[in-house]
Amino acid sequence: MTTELLTGIGELTTNDPQREGVTGRIHDAAVVIDDGTIAWVGPASEAPAADRRTDLGGRAVLPGWVDSHTHLIFAGDRSEEFEFRMAGHPYQAGGIRTTVRDTTAASDDELRTALAARRGVARAGGTTWLEVKTGYGLDVEQETRLARLAAEVTPDVTFLGAHVVPPGVDADDYVALVTGDMLAAVRPFVRWIDVFCERGAFDAAQSRAVLEAGKAAGLGLRVHGNQLGEGAGVQLAVELGAAAVDHLNFLSPADIAALGSSSTVATLLPACDLSTRAPFPPARELLAAGATLALASNGNPGTSNTTSMAFCVATAVLQMHLTVEEAVWAATAGGALALRRSDQIGAVVPGHRADLHAIDAPSVSHFAYRPGMDLTYAVWEGGRRVVSR
């Protein structure tokens, strides 16, 4: 078994709550990796011996990004819809059906290749863990296929059969299918269930039925909520103990208070908000209320065609008024909490998976200070160096 010492770390973001500050940053640091896990963290002057030594030349290191909300298994292109929206027309959920058409027409190999390419781009930008949702199949056979293919790249697959109602189908009949035969078919491949609780998608009663069926089947709960207007998403997520509720552009004081007093993570999707020209969620109010924040890419073909978590961090700082430390924490430790994996990923502490992101800059502040720049220098995923520049 080979150990690796990473030294010459000018700034190390640990997310260790035992250390000072939001992200527990330390300077002149070193990390030892042993058998894919973090074995030791501390000052470089006190580092133990290791079989191999890598000097990072003063670069900053942080945990790999944890992207807890993506829709990366799809086919097709919706750039025309994007141009239409940029010309001033409002976003509506109906464009999802266009991707359903293109995705169901694609072969397994085409979808597998496209998903692998998107996963590779995300990894090249420092994302070492991500969630992938189904939702572009909308029948038993296609949703099961998407779940099976997504499970090839991540253990955090989410069943989103309740994305939209297919054309010509009664909504209540479709919910019965989602909570019955479709759920049973996808169950071997998924860890989570999600629902788009929104006007134009599923109302409160239908969303509750989906979530309760998933919970009864042993799945964790996630909710798309409060994206297009105030609605039942937040309150339903908190009541049922969902791990996360995502989007959150339109929140009442009661919604903010509920998130502040619960373990449900408030996942913000700033790239989507830019693409849809939506108002940004009230991030500072959520933090003031005691809510736990995550940042995620919402990578999808219609409203957020990116996997760049660095872009999301920069946007959260520059547009949503988070501090750099708050945004970096939300994109790493916050994402881990949203996936209920905070004991495994999202922090550089002994015993955690060795998911690390070294950047060609002396500090994580450069994500917002130099927005849009490709700063990734190296990435370790489970202790294995998967990106080198």
Q: For residue range 249-272, list pLDDT tens digits in order.
A: 999 999 999 999 999 999 999 999
Do 92 and 200 contact (CB within 8 A), yes or no?
A: yes
Crossing angle of helices 233-240/204-216, nearest 10°?
20
The β-bridge partners of 220 are 192
DSSP letters for 298-310: -BBTTTB----HH
Both 85 and 162 in one domain: the answer is yes
Number of domains in the chain: 2
What is the per-residue pLDDT for 95?
82
Both 245 and 184 in one domain: the answer is yes
- Which CATH number fits the domain that encloses residue 28? 2.30.40.10
Both 241 and 295 in one domain: the answer is yes
Longest dimension (CA), the chain: 67
Parent domain of 29: 3-64+346-388
Q: Mean of the per-residue pLDDT values for the chain? A: 97
- Which CATH number fits the domain that encloses residue 156? 3.20.20.140
What is the per-residue pLDDT for 340?
98
Do 362 and 58 contact (CB within 8 A), yes or no?
A: yes
Both 119 and 216 in one domain: the answer is yes
Read off the pLDDT of each residue in 72-95 and give the average, rounded to a whole number.
Answer: 84
Read off the pLDDT of each residue in 67-73 and give the average, rounded to a whole number.
Answer: 98
212's tokens? 């309760």
Both 303 and 324 in one domain: the answer is yes
Read off the pLDDT of each residue in 95-122 and give the average, rounded to a whole number.
Answer: 96
| Angle ∠(74,80,84) on CA atoms, nearest 5 | 125
Crossing angle of helices 108-124/140-150, nearest 10°?
40
Identify residue 222 by its one-letter amino acid code: R
Q: Which of 343, 377, 283 shows the shortest CA–CA distance to 15?
A: 343
133 phi-psi bin (left φ>0, alpha ψ -120 to 50, beta other)? beta
Both 141 and 99 in one domain: the answer is yes
* Tens of pLDDT, residues 344-354: 999 999 999 99
Both 80 and 92 in one domain: the answer is yes
* Tens of pLDDT, residues 131-185: 999 999 999 999 999 999 999 999 999 999 999 999 999 999 999 999 999 999 9
Q: Which of 299, 271, 245, 301 shows the shortest CA–CA distance to 79?
A: 301
Read off the pLDDT of each residue in 368-377 and give the average, rounded to a whole number.
Answer: 97
Both 81 and 22 in one domain: the answer is no
CA distance 270 to 7: 34
Both 21 and 143 in one domain: the answer is no
Q: Which of 236, 205, 100 shows the shortest CA–CA distance to 161?
A: 100
**pTM here?**
0.97
What is the per-residue pLDDT for 92?
61
What is the per-residue pLDDT for 314?
98
Both 284 and 299 in one domain: the answer is yes
The β-bridge partners of 313 are none
What is the per-residue pLDDT for 20?
93
pLDDT at 93 over 70: no
What is the per-residue pLDDT for 96?
87
CA distance 14 to 61: 9
Q: Read off the pLDDT band of 360 (50, 70, 90).
A: very high
The β-bridge partners of 385 are 380
pLDDT at 94 over 70: no
Both 51 and 130 in one domain: the answer is no
pLDDT at 80 over 90: no
Both 150 and 217 in one domain: the answer is yes
CA distance 320 to 304: 17
